[in-house]
Structure 1
Amino acid sequence: MINLRQIKCFQAVVELGNFSRAAERLRTSQAGVSHAIHDLEALLGTRLFDRTTRRVELTEAGQIFAAGVLPGLAEIERAVESVRDLSELRTGLVRIAAPPLLGATVLPRLLQEVAKLHPSLKLRIEDVGTDLIVPRVRNGLYEIGIGTFNTDEEGIDRQHVLSDRLMVFIEMDHPFKSLEEVGWKALHDQRVITLTRESNIRLLTEIGFETAGLPLRPHLEVHQIHTALSLVESGAGVAVLPTYAFAALNGRGIAARPLTDPAITRQVSIITARERTLSPATTAVRPLLRKILRQMVPEIL
């Protein structure tokens, strides 16, 4: 069976026209190159070179063999270099899916960090609903997903990042600010801002009110956490939101306190597809994403 070493020896002799120079290029002995060419000729059943004391020339068979094999060797070498580029992070693409709030707050920081540490890597980011993230990661449309996910999802590996808890977000001069925690019952006379029923946060909010024996009568309902925070800042009411809404505060005049009795918690995770090998780029980006999430969102239990 012809092997790659024999082909590379053949290539060197063709390009340099000399066995000794070919050996120097390949960092081997002249005898080693001669043996490789001899074995190659034996396998092909014909001479590939005419050798004299002054020159080495391709035979007709050698010309035909060179025309067929050397372009393929160049393709192999390009493929090897491309794989090395991936493994050494000289190239690579990581596609990340995240809910809109995390997409708008955490991922820009990640872009900056990756550009600083691995400038040749590319990130592609899409903000989508949590219900779309798991199937798209599982199917290979994204390498990484972040958010809160059911624990029984098949084909998914999850890496816990932080514990997320429902909290009440308030103006800085609100009476709740003097408390370490706020019971759900204390919301009975507040103008409560909630997310709409399309959000899983709304379902958890309803559970909190129901467990506390309170009817939920939202003062305002909005689709996005950013909108809820803007309304809180304007004095329109208090908002029930997850801990990771801290990532969007960015110096706003808003405080937050954990809600208790009951304390409703869930896990923010980074997910990848279990049946797919992580690329070197994904392996490099995932811990950076975890670090940034933990920096931007306090873990309050």
Structure 2
Amino acid sequence: MKIRQIETFLAVAEAASFRRAAEVLHRSQSAVSAHVQQLEEELGLPLLERTTRRVSLTPGGKVLLGRCKSLMADLNAVAQELKEEATLRRGRVSIGTSPSISTHRLPPIVAAYQVQYPGITLELHEAFASRMYDDVLERVTDFAIGPRVDGLKDFDIRTVIVDPVVAVLPATKPWLDRKTVRLDDIAREPHLAMPRGTAIRAVIEDSFRRRGVVFEPRFEVIHQQTLFSLVEAGLGVTVLPLMSVPPQRGNYVVARLRTPEITRDVCLVTLKGKSLTPAAARCAEMIVSTLQAQFRRK
């Protein structure tokens, strides 16, 4: 049996019509009839019952249909896998991300992907949340990993992890050995913060507002690492996502916020209705699975 004959038989069986099968396959009706006839001659039994009104399956045709549908699905899956593997040997993937993720978490994952797929050219676009989403919309990036922004309609946004917000405090009394703090405990301390327009700043301001406190930071900086340096120098406290905290911590205390507990969603952001290339999909999958594994251990 030849694959083209099986393909033709399946099309006729599913359409219950030689004419409609010919249209689906973009072949002449005579070619479709010839393929089915050749298959019947090779098997030595009729597969289809033909009348002037319809085409139906014989008992033998029903058996062949069941077996061949599974066979063709497997063949198509193998062909798709091989095509995807071929595209992973070359190409380009552009990743959008926020600073809280790109500073410490993303570089090892990107490096591992580059080792596994050396033929793929990677681009990394770091931006605050609003710009990060714009880059996906304008197709500057294939996808983004970053904080959720509500009220946007052009994106598919999938939560990857729920990232707790923590207080970063000077390694002095009364903060030494603190594992948790309440927002009220630090509300009157001098605060250090990211600028307005960043996702984390909006979360913090909203949390303070709910407690009846106006958030007025002492210093605003654009780099998160500067916040840690300012805390180490004893100039105040800061509130940041846990993901922002370096793996090798400096001379400061990191305490979970309680009463209220504050979290943010870290999401995979793609353009609605647009499929990722195999290379981009594999990259996104690696980032998502690695981040989820890291946070399951916490």
Same fold by TM-score greater than 0.5: yes
Aligned counterpart in structure 2 of residue 255 of structure 1, from 253, 256, 263:
253
Aligned counterpart in structure 1 of residue 283 of structure 2, from 282, 285, 288:
285
2:206 corresponds to 1:197: no
Please give the TM-score of this superposition, normalised by the length of structure 2. 0.64
Q: Which amino acid aligns with 1:278?
A: L
For 1:240 and 1:299, locate their aligned partners in 2 and report how far apart those are by CA, in whole Å.
22
Q: Which amino acid aligns with 2:250?
A: R
2:157 corresponds to 1:132: no
Structure 2 counterpart SS, 1:251 = coil
**Corresponding residue number in structure 1 for 2:55:** none
2:97 corresponds to 1:91: no
Q: Calculate the aligned-residue CA RMSD, in Å.
A: 2.8
Taking structure 1 as reference, are residues 95 and 176 closer, same or farther at Cα in structure 2, changes over 3 Å only? same
For 2:185 and 2:104, locate their aligned partners in 1 and report how far apart those are by CA, in whole Å.
30
How many percent of aligned residue pairs carry the same amino acid? 23
Structure 2 counterpart SS, 1:176 = coil
* Conservation of the 8 A alpha-carbon contact between 1:188 and 1:214: yes
For 2:175 and 2:162, locate their aligned partners in 1 and report how far apart those are by CA, in whole Å.
22
Taking structure 1 as reference, are residues 288 and 203 closer, same or farther at Cα in structure 2, changes over 3 Å only? same
Please give the TM-score of this superposition, normalised by the length of structure 1. 0.64
Structure 2 counterpart SS, 1:178 = coil
* Conservation of the 8 A alpha-carbon contact between 1:243 and 1:298: no
For 1:273 and 1:86, locate their aligned partners in 2 and report how far apart those are by CA, in whole Å.
23
**Corresponding residue number in structure 2 for 1:245:** 244
**Corresponding residue number in structure 2 for 1:31:** none
Query: Per-residue CA shift, 1:242-273, capped at 9, x if unaligned?
Result: 22212x35332333222233222220001112
* Conservation of the 8 A alpha-carbon contact between 2:177 and 2:253: no
**Corresponding residue number in structure 2 for 1:207:** 206
Taking structure 1 as reference, are residues 175 and 260 closer, same or farther at Cα in structure 2, changes over 3 Å only? same
> Which consecutive unaligned segments of at least 5 residues does structure 2 have?
1-81
Matches of residues 44-193 of structure 1 in structure 2 within 5 Å? 84=83, 87-193=86-192
Query: Per-residue CA shift, 1:60-101, capped at 9, x if unaligned?
Result: xxxxxxxxxxxxxxxxxxxxxxx9476451112110011233
Deviates more, 1:116-125 or 1:97-106: 97-106
For 2:87 and 2:194, locate their aligned partners in 1 and report how far apart those are by CA, in whole Å.
44
* Conservation of the 8 A alpha-carbon contact between 1:211 and 1:262: no
Q: CA deviation at 1:283?
A: 1.7
* Conservation of the 8 A alpha-carbon contact between 1:170 and 1:239: yes
Q: CA deviation at 1:191?
A: 2.5
Q: Which amino acid aligns with 1:99?
A: S
Structure 2 counterpart SS, 1:175 = coil
For 1:141 and 1:160, locate their aligned partners in 2 and report how far apart those are by CA, in whole Å.
22
Taking structure 1 as reference, are residues 242 and 299 closer, same or farther at Cα in structure 2, changes over 3 Å only? farther
Taking structure 1 as reference, are residues 284 and 244 closer, same or farther at Cα in structure 2, changes over 3 Å only? same
* Conservation of the 8 A alpha-carbon contact between 2:103 and 2:244: no
Structure 1 counterpart SS, 2:89 = coil
For 1:114 and 1:188, locate their aligned partners in 2 and report how far apart those are by CA, in whole Å.
42
Q: Which amino acid aligns with 2:101?
A: L
**Corresponding residue number in structure 2 for 1:271:** 269
Taking structure 1 as reference, are residues 200 and 299 closer, same or farther at Cα in structure 2, changes over 3 Å only? farther
Q: CA deviation at 1:295?
A: 5.4
Taking structure 1 as reference, are residues 214 and 84 closer, same or farther at Cα in structure 2, changes over 3 Å only? closer
Q: CA deviation at 1:217?
A: 3.5
Taking structure 1 as reference, are residues 217 and 84 closer, same or farther at Cα in structure 2, changes over 3 Å only? closer
Taking structure 1 as reference, are residues 85 and 260 closer, same or farther at Cα in structure 2, changes over 3 Å only? closer
Q: Which amino acid aligns with 1:202?
A: R
Query: Per-residue CA shift, 1:99-120, capped at 9, x if unaligned?
Result: 2332332332122111222222
* Conservation of the 8 A alpha-carbon contact between 1:87 and 1:280: no
**Corresponding residue number in structure 1 for 2:5:** none
Q: Which has the larger radius of gyration?
A: 1
* Conservation of the 8 A alpha-carbon contact between 2:205 and 2:215: yes
* Conservation of the 8 A alpha-carbon contact between 1:93 and 1:123: yes
Matched residues, number: 219
Q: CA deviation at 1:146?
A: 1.2
Matches of residues 213-252 of structure 1 in structure 2 within 5 Å? 213-246=212-245, 248-252=246-250
